[in-house]
Amino acid sequence: MTNYSPAIQALLGDGTRLADLGPGSPDLSKKSSLLAFDPLRDLGPVKDPAMAKLCHAGLWLYFDFLDESHVISQDVETPTGSFWHAIVHRREPDPGNSKYWWRRVGNHPVLANLPDPFAFVDRCEKARGTGSAEEAECQRQQRAEWHALFEYCFQNAISNG
């Protein structure tokens, strides 16, 4: 895991949480920390405020606060904002809306190392709630997707010096 700021490290812990393929249950023990988190202050020196906001959207999503993540990601009208937005809708679950947002993402650099997002929406739809090995694999891929996108946002948000 990247050498994130102390505020992010405190929130993420070891970063191995497997989120539900659906909405899950918000981790209320993290809510006050997420509310207090200021991406412009707590990421380190910020060069891109929009990417910093998207880091916050990602943190909300990591702990199953889909509504809070959605509010942030829908207000950042970039391919990366659409990426977070598509994940939120996949997890709601609202697969049609998720695919709409994936079309808006386009050819995003994070997608180079991830499965096809449209096929992944369908896989999650079939596996959700089954307790199967496929569901567990989708959860691991979802975690890898989250880490790749968060890392991308973090690296683009902070300054280089």
Q: What is the pLDDT of residue 33?
A: 96
Query: With contact defined as beta carbons under 8 Å apart, do 61 and 69 qualify?
Result: yes
Confidence of residue 161 (pLDDT cuts 50, 70, 90): very low
* pLDDT tens per residue across span 34-84: 999 999 999 989 999 999 999 999 999 999 999 999 999 999 999 999 999
Q: What is the pTM of this model?
A: 0.95
Segment (H or E) for 67: helix 66-74
φ and ψ of 131, to 5 deg: 70, 15
* pLDDT tens per residue across span 124-143: 999 999 999 999 999 999 99
Residues contacting residue 115 through CB under 8 Å, at least 6 positions apart: 123, 141
